[in-house]
Amino acid sequence: MSYRRPEPRRPADRAAAPDQYRRPLQRLLPASAAVFFGASMVLPFQDDRPGLWAVFTVLGHPGEILYWLFPLCTLAFVPVVFRLHEVRLPIFKALLVGVLMLCAVVNLYFDRNGINVGVGVAFWLASGYMLFAAAMRWRYPRGGLKTGLTSLVLAVVLSIWMQDVYQGGNGGHIWKGGQKPDDSMLPSVQTAAEPAAAAPASRSAETAASLNALNRHVLVSVNRDRNLYNPWAEKNAEATCETAVRRDYPVMLPPRFAEDGYEWRNYQHSDAACNTLLYVGTPGLSKKPDLDYRVAQDHRSNVYLLLVNKKGEELFKHTFTPDTGGVTDTAYTDILNQGFAKMVDNPTPNQLLDGEYVFAKAAMPQQGDTLMRGCAWKPVGSNGNTFQWGTGRINWRGQSLIRPENFCSKTHVGVAHLSRHPQAHLTGNAIDNRLYIKLFRGADLKPLECGAVSLPLDGSDAEAWQAGQLQAESIDIHPAQTDGCIGIKVKLNDGRTLGSP
């Protein structure tokens, strides 16, 4: 007995079941799946390359086996979507295609090999879900209602989101996250082609002269892409106190700038491990910004710096491109620092640290003080490295704060914490066996001179601190010692006292 494939229902058959075949949702779902699939083939899929090109070149990495799911699912999608009108609906095949499309996208998210993921990937994945939803709705015209409505809601939300992505000018890598720069931040076509190579001497002199507008009284507002993508950074760079911030946000900012309603100043708080830079923010700007410093990036990973005055006149402009080494070219910092040096309170060579100018610290206290644990502080936003005491804030930049504890008195605040070992890849010890103490003046959170020390711990103490079993009860500050620095003593909850020399 041979098996004959059932014939598609004739118009007469459909007339017998008008409720099943005249439901708008049943016809809309296959059309939506086809439209989203077609859009994914022409929208940016891999950076600015359309999906049709990216998929069938296996995203430029044909050696990655799981990347082959993209062309296989794409080829399988077409015959399945054209069979949705038949009596024997391909529900299992639609489900299989949808699941494999999900696996492909999840694998791409965790193993991108430097690929900038475009909006076409989102449309491609949504088409797979709607393919399965359409099959379910045709097979179960009543029971599949929720599945069908969910897919339509997904399509609407995704469409609105894509509009926001494109308005942000960042359609090339939707998984970069964070705020998107305004179109006004990006240079015009006429200025976008400026090379990142060193400028001629006359141009450098002209730029340096224009930076004479910077001084100790000028306030610069920063308008930036906070999560600047840096495709040129070393992925296996040695772990140091500044590695994280250099890799994630490599463009230098002014030593004093306005952002988010705060005035931020760059400081350096040194200890035995390394030089560590941080920003201290105070609210209530006393004046409106005089200059605008813009940091933007387009979907080709070109990075644009632009410093303009209130009249819109350009004081400084620089463009980084992948072809010219990107932001690993640091020649531009020498030109900017000619102006930034005029913004700090004492522009001596000692204040040019890690290539950046910093402000002077607060003077050492002349009298002793005791800071007790448990003062009010809170993390700010999703960035776990920014904390607020009262109205002031500290952005710890690339520093590693592990299980930080805060302390305060009427005149000072402090932090005690562990850190990642600066050479963990060599020692095999992920945590540095030291307790780091950093002290600040309470009125404005200005770091204290000699107010950053690291106190030795043994391995068991570091583990106990991480587990919350070992804590600091108080920090005592003593006037300047014979070595010219204040003395710092830390009382632990087990009765011991740790102290700097």
Are the C-beta atoms of residues 398 and 238 closer than 8 Å to each other? no
Strands (E), 21-96: 44-46, 49-50
* Coil, strand or helix at 204: helix
Is the pLDDT at 166 greater than 50? The verdict is no
Is the pLDDT at 437 greater than 90? The verdict is yes
Rounded distance between C-alpha atoms, residue 403 and residue 393, angstroms: 18
Rounded distance between C-alpha atoms, residue 350 and residue 242, angstroms: 19
Q: How many residues does the chain have?
A: 501
Cβ neighbours around 261 below 10 Å, total: 9
| Token pair recorded at residue 150 | 């969910």
Q: Catalogue the long-range contacts made by 249-252 (C-beta closer than 8 Å, 24 or more residues apart).
A: 250/327, 250/328, 251/224, 251/295, 251/303, 251/305, 251/327, 252/333, 252/336, 252/355, 252/356
pLDDT digits (tens, 9 = 90+) for 241-282: 555 556 667 788 999 999 888 999 999 886 555 557 889 999
Rounded distance between C-alpha atoms, residue 133 and residue 136, angstroms: 5
Confidence of residue 219 (pLDDT cuts 50, 70, 90): very high
State the residue for tokens 């299992």: 92
CA atoms within 13 A on the CB side of 230: 19
Q: Which of 381, 38, 382, 332 is nearest to 208 (CA)?
A: 332
Most confident region among 111-120, 135-144, 176-185, 475-484 by mean pLDDT: 475-484
Residue with the bigger pLDDT between 400 and 448: it is: 448
Q: Which of 36-40, 96-100, 198-202, 329-333 has the lowest mean pLDDT?
A: 198-202
Rounded distance between C-alpha atoms, residue 322 and residue 164, angstroms: 26
Residue with the bigger pLDDT between 459 and 172: it is: 459
Rounded distance between C-alpha atoms, residue 31 and residue 52, angstroms: 19
Identify the pLDDT of residue 198.
42
Identify the pLDDT of residue 264.
94
Percentage of the chain exceeding pLDDT 90: 22
Q: How would you write 91-134 as a 3-class SS string?
A: HHHHHHHHHHHHHHHHHHHHCCCCCCECHHHHHHHHHHHHHHHH
Identify the pLDDT of residue 200.
43
Confidence of residue 15 (pLDDT cuts 50, 70, 90): very low
- Average pLDDT, rounded, for the chain: 75
Is the pLDDT at 346 greater than 50? The verdict is yes
Identify the pLDDT of residue 175.
41
User: Mean of the pLDDT values across residues 189-206?
Assistant: 42
Q: Rounded to the nearest 5°, which phi and psi values hold at 281? A: -110, 135
Are the C-beta atoms of residues 266 and 256 closer than 8 Å to each other? yes
Rounded distance between C-alpha atoms, residue 241 and residue 264, angstroms: 20
pLDDT digits (tens, 9 = 90+) for 66-94: 889 999 999 988 888 877 665 556 677 88
User: Mean of the pLDDT values across residues 444-465?
Assistant: 91
Percentage of the chain exceeding pLDDT 70: 66
| Token pair recorded at residue 217 | 């009284």
Q: Which of 4-8, 39-43, 340-344, 454-458 has the lowest mean pLDDT?
A: 4-8
Are the C-beta atoms of residues 343 and 215 closer than 8 Å to each other? yes
pLDDT digits (tens, 9 = 90+) for 290-333: 999 999 887 667 888 999 988 888 899 988 877 666 666 667 88
* Coil, strand or helix at 331: helix
Is the pLDDT at 164 greater than 50? The verdict is no
Is the pLDDT at 189 greater than 50? The verdict is no
Most confident region among 209-223, 264-278, 356-370 by mean pLDDT: 356-370
Amino acid letter, 110? F
Measured CA angle at 286 (ends 280, 292), to 5 deg = 75
Identify the pLDDT of residue 195.
41
Buried b (16+ CB within 10 A) or exposed e, 72-104: ebbebbeebbeebeeeebbbebbeebbebbeeb
Q: Which of 17-31, 64-78, 429-443 has the lowest mean pLDDT?
A: 17-31
Rounded distance between C-alpha atoms, residue 289 and residue 309, angstroms: 9
Rounded distance between C-alpha atoms, residue 176 and residue 327, angstroms: 17
Cβ neighbours around 295 below 10 Å, total: 20
Residue with the bigger pLDDT between 192 and 458: it is: 458
Residue with the bigger pLDDT between 230 and 191: it is: 230
Confidence of residue 221 (pLDDT cuts 50, 70, 90): very high
Rounded distance between C-alpha atoms, residue 186 and residue 224, angstroms: 11
Taking CA atoms, 480 is separated from 460, 461, 486, 490, in Å, by 32, 28, 4, 16
Residue with the bigger pLDDT between 250 and 121: it is: 121
Q: Which helix (H) or strand (E) holds 277?
A: strand 277-283
Is the pLDDT at 105 greater than 90? The verdict is no
Helix orientation angle between 24-42 and 69-81, rounded to the nearest 10 degrees: 150
Rounded distance between C-alpha atoms, residue 53 and residue 46, angstroms: 9
| Token pair recorded at residue 85 | 């009108």
